[in-house]
Amino acid sequence: MMNVSNTRLTNRALLALVLCGTVSLSFSSSPAIGLAVAEGSFQVDHAHVWGNATLFDGNLVETGQASSRLKLENGVAMQLASDSRARVYQSRLVLEKGTGQLESINYLIEADSLRVSPDSPGSVARVQVGGGNRIIVAAYQGSVRVSNNQGVLVAKLETGRELAFEPQAEGTAALTKVSGCLLRKDGQFVIVDAATNVVFQLQGAALEANLGSHVEITGSAITQAPTVAGVSQVVNVTDVKLVSKGGCASAAKQIAAAGAGAAAGAAAGGLSTGAIVAIVAGVAAIGSTVGLAASHALPGQGQSAPPTSR
């Protein structure tokens, strides 16, 4: 009986070793994509970690009182503020809660239906998931692009600017309502939105009469490809409201000399905090003064992070 019992125990032990080997092989078949480092504890896939942890594609990272710095093998650098939650992938960070900072191009932060990415080397984007479905995006440094999940440009922010965004109800993806200088470029009507810095090519009635003035237009995006360089999309205008007569001479000179996008900065003005200032591709842009663009450090970001060498 003892021999039989010992044989059974041995078989069970061998089975356990085989199973362990199978688990180890499955983990090793998924290569690491980077490293997470914090000056305190955080969680990876709900397991508590202290100091640092290796990241695999799809890991869920949750910070506590301290921020965490993420460094991927492909060179992408990011930070998560305290009390934040995000899922990390090779090509994107899906922010579910809190605030994230992206310091690299060729990568993006997804938040709800928005896609945020630095537009040039050295640019730094910040994204905060607020209450309800409100997403705040800031250009801490350089230029930052904001698109919807269809790839349509919703906003282009320059250093120190921030906007809050609220995706609208389904079925409004084509809706556009913007305000800015109505100009002509390459024989086409264009408008440079004062809030989002996005340039639109326009078609419809009542445009000629308001050329060179600040107007508010309402319309719907159409699938026609733009014929003007730097334009995001073509909008079929259904309503034009005159905001102020004239005042667009400087923007007109810039747009004629350097292209549509060059006039955006000149057209931008003050924003109404908390009010909808534009609707682009079904996403409402709202004036924001939470200070996300101006703050030097993210919440929970202390002194320099510990070394990331392994």
Residues 193 and 152 in one domain: no
Q: pLDDT, tens digit, for every residue of 86-100? A: 999 999 999 999 999
What is the full per-residue pLDDT of the chain (310 aa) written as tens digits? Answer: 445 444 444 444 433 433 333 333 334 457 999 999 998 899 999 999 999 999 999 999 999 999 999 999 999 999 999 999 999 999 999 999 999 999 999 999 999 999 999 999 999 999 999 777 899 999 999 999 999 988 889 999 999 999 999 987 766 667 899 999 999 999 999 998 989 999 999 999 889 999 999 999 999 988 888 999 888 899 999 999 999 999 898 888 877 765 545 455 444 445 556 788 999 988 999 987 788 998 888 988 864 444 443 3
Q: What are the angstrom distances between the C-alpha of 110 and each of 78, 99, 304?
A: 13, 12, 27
Q: Do both 6 and 124 map to the same domain?
A: no
- Domain with 79 in it: what CATH number? 2.60.120.1440
- Specify whether 274 is located in the same domain as 226: yes
The answer on 66 and 14 residing in a single domain is no
> Residue 68 sits in which domain range?
32-167
**Domain annotation covers residue 306:** no
Of 167, 191, 224, which residue constitutes the final position of a domain? 167
Q: pLDDT, tens digit, for every residue of 31-86?
A: 999 999 998 899 999 999 999 999 999 999 999 999 999 999 999 999 999 999 99
- Look at residue 269 and tell me if it is in a domain: yes
Same domain, yes or no: 36 and 22? no
Whether residue 242 is found in the same domain as residue 124: no
74-85 b/e (C-beta count within 10 Å ≥ 16 → b): eebebbbbbbbb
Q: How far is CA 86 from CA 50, 102, 236, in A?
A: 18, 13, 38
Residues 6+ apart with CB under 8 A from 281: 148, 150, 152, 154, 173, 174, 175, 176, 221, 233
**The domain spanning residue 180 has which CATH number?**
2.40.50
| Domains identified in the chain, total number | 3
Whether the Cβ atoms of residue 183 and residue 138 lie closer than 8 Å to each other: no
> Does residue 301 lie within any of the structural domains?
no
Work out the widest C-alpha separation in the chain, in whole angstroms. 102
The region that residue 160 occupies, defined by phi over 0 for left and psi between -120 and 50 for alpha, beta otherwise, is left
- Do 14 and 119 fall into the same domain? no
- The answer on 254 and 231 residing in a single domain is yes
Task: Determine, yes or no, domain membership for 47.
Answer: yes
pTM of the model: 0.82
Q: Report how far apart the first and last C-alpha atoms of the chain are (Å, whole number).
A: 51
Are 104 and 140 part of one and the same domain? yes
- Same domain membership, residue 238 and residue 254: yes
- H helix count then E strand count, the chain: 3, 21
pLDDT computed for residue 29 by the predictor: 54
Does residue 307 form part of some domain?
no
In a domain, 297, yes or no: no
Q: Could you give the 3-state DSSP secondary structure of residue 144? A: strand
Does residue 229 contact residue 195 with C-beta atoms inside 8 Å? no
Token couple for 28:
């090793």
Residue 130 lies in a domain: yes
Classify residue 266: in a domain, yes or no.
yes
Whole-number Å distance between alpha carbons of 11 and 9: 5
Two tokens, residue 214? 């600040």
